[in-house]
Amino acid sequence: MKSGKLYILVILAMVFVWGSSTAQAKTILYVPQDDRPVSFEDVVDTAAAAKLTVLAPPQELIAGRDKKGDPDKLWEWVEEHAGQADAMVLSGDALIYGGLVDSRTHSFTEQVLQERLDNFKKLAKQHPFAGLYVYSTVQRTPKGSAGGVEPAYYETYGRDIFQLTALRDKSEVEGLSRKEKKLLADLQNKIPQEALTDWMDRRQKNYAINVGLIDNVRQGLFRFFLLGRDDTAPYSQSHKEGRDLSNLAADIPSTKFQTFPGADQLSMVMLARAFNDLTGRIPIVQIQYAPGVGKDSIPTYEDQKIGQSIAAHVIAAGGIVFRNPIKPDLIIQVNTPFNGKTPEADSRENTTAVTPQIKQFVDGIQSQIAAGKNVSVADISFGNGADNALMTELSRRQLLDKLTSYSGWNTAGNTVGFTIGQGMLAGSMDAEARKRLLAVRYLDDWAYQANIRRALSEEIVYPKHGSLVYLNDLKPLLTTEAEKRERAFAAEHLWFSPEKVSVSFPWNRMFEIGIHIAE
């Protein structure tokens, strides 16, 4: 009898929690890390498709290609609108430095940065019922850079700085050979000391801010803190700092803090987390991989196995991973390369030839969709774009519009975060909204990133002696040509009038494109 009463009480408690959470007005205050489409427009569009109300700052306050973000005015805006929000998804990089690129190039003092860090504590205390979902990054360590997104000296010495810090990191983890020790000494002599000092000083400030943000989690001020490792490698300064920060946060539950490779997907993951918390959902996720190395692949630009990263993404987004659930809410099908190596999508290796492995992978997707499952695809076989063979086969079998979500852009972490985030929110979308988000990804990740970008570079930019990172006078011609090719792609593969598609180059460079689909 007692156990029966207890069972009834548990059920009533569950109904109360579910009912009270779903009754909340789902208003998200969102501060992006910058105004690139993947950071701003795509996230806001996803939230709107899931019938969330989004409060976002005026674009003039947000960091862009040619303007710094304004952290102090952003804080004023947040404080003015925080009372309207049920949850706040906040970029630490924007509110501390101005934006993601600003975090690598700023000259703010430690005192100014600390004052901005303290604002998080004030915000949490003033709005205790609005969950704070904060995301930040470990400053990246790229192998090179161009286009003004790092300090100027990095364009000359970036590869040397990367190699120097990789050797220092490796020396701590497993030691160096005699040859590597000699190379380390040579690099220390080659790199100007003032450049290395400037770079390391800024990194130390970034590290201290991330320590402070972790402490805010420990104090219960954040509902969740997500720390991305931007453009990293198995040995690098970013990897070293990530190791140290992970050790520092070892006492914090995984349901409150996660860290993994990537930066541009963090806001989408935190949007999903806020959505799941507000609606009382804990999505059950099953992960499956293409034949081959699968979960043990270590993608380019990252420093750990993809299986570890995907599980961490699911947890951060508010889900739980089961190996063989009876009824998963979402199946993530991960397109990994058979050999575990992830070359660039615009390389000649990215052909439309369908291998037996791709056929087997798509067979699995098709059977799951036919069985009524929610299937999302994380396409990480190539870096910076989709796998042409996979996408051609999905199109041939008329599966493109039947996926729950798809992503295949930039780094593997970026892809995984978007796929999981949009996949988890898809249940609150109508079919047309879901298909619209899919179309944007196909036009961007497959059409542009994997194909059109290289073609336009070879046919227009190089012959006219232009720049890939400053389009300038070539921008109108490139826009016209890109739009023409995107519309041709839409006519061949998509399900709406090609004339609805228009494009832009919002950061005046070839690396990303803005995709717009008219109503």
448 in any annotated domain: no
Whether 42 and 134 map to the same domain: the answer is yes
Per-residue pLDDT, 11: 27
Whether 57 and 181 map to the same domain: the answer is yes
Last residue of a domain, one of 228, 244, 279: 279
Residues 249-281 have pLDDT tens digits of 999 999 999 999 999 999 999 999 999 999 999
Whether 188 and 290 map to the same domain: the answer is no
Per-residue pLDDT, 148: 83
Measured distance CA(62)–CA(32) in Å, rounded: 7
Whether 236 and 356 map to the same domain: the answer is no
Last residue of a domain, one of 395, 429, 463: 429
Measured distance CA(159)–CA(144) in Å, rounded: 5
User: For the chain, which ranges sit under pLDDT 70?
Assistant: 1-25
Whether 197 and 306 map to the same domain: the answer is no
466 in any annotated domain: yes
CA 489-493-496 angle, 5° bins: 90
Per-residue pLDDT, 146: 82
516 in any annotated domain: yes
Residue pair 414/265 in contact by the 8 Å Cβ criterion: yes
Per-residue pLDDT, 98: 97
Whether 203 and 260 map to the same domain: the answer is yes
Considering the chain, what is the average pLDDT of its residues? 93
Measured distance CA(132)–CA(445) in Å, rounded: 31
Measured distance CA(431)–CA(429) in Å, rounded: 6
Whether 347 and 365 map to the same domain: the answer is yes
Per-residue pLDDT, 139: 94
Whether 269 and 291 map to the same domain: the answer is no
Alpha carbon separation from 325 to 229, 285, 320, 340 (Å, rounded): 31, 8, 11, 26
Q: Which domain holds residue 348?
A: 284-429
12 in any annotated domain: no
Q: What is the strand order of the sheet 375-379 is part of?
A: 320-321, 284-289, 330-335, 375-379, 405-407
Measured distance CA(369)–CA(382) in Å, rounded: 24
Whether 93 and 159 map to the same domain: the answer is yes
Whether 93 and 211 map to the same domain: the answer is yes
Whether 105 and 121 map to the same domain: the answer is yes
SS3 of 15, please?
helix
Indicate the angle between helix axes 237-248 and 154-173, nearest 10 degrees. Answer: 50
218 in any annotated domain: yes
Last residue of a domain, one of 279, 301, 329: 279
Whether 53 and 138 map to the same domain: the answer is yes
9 in any annotated domain: no
- The CATH number assigned to the domain holding 329 equals 3.40.50
Per-residue pLDDT, 452: 98
Closest to 142 (Cα-Cα) out of 244, 243, 236: 236
Q: How many domains does the chain have?
A: 3
215 in any annotated domain: yes
Per-residue pLDDT, 356: 96
Q: Tell the residue number behind the tokens 């970013």, with chain if given.
A: 238
434 in any annotated domain: no
Per-residue pLDDT, 14: 31
Closest to 308 (Cα-Cα) out of 329, 325, 291, 287: 287
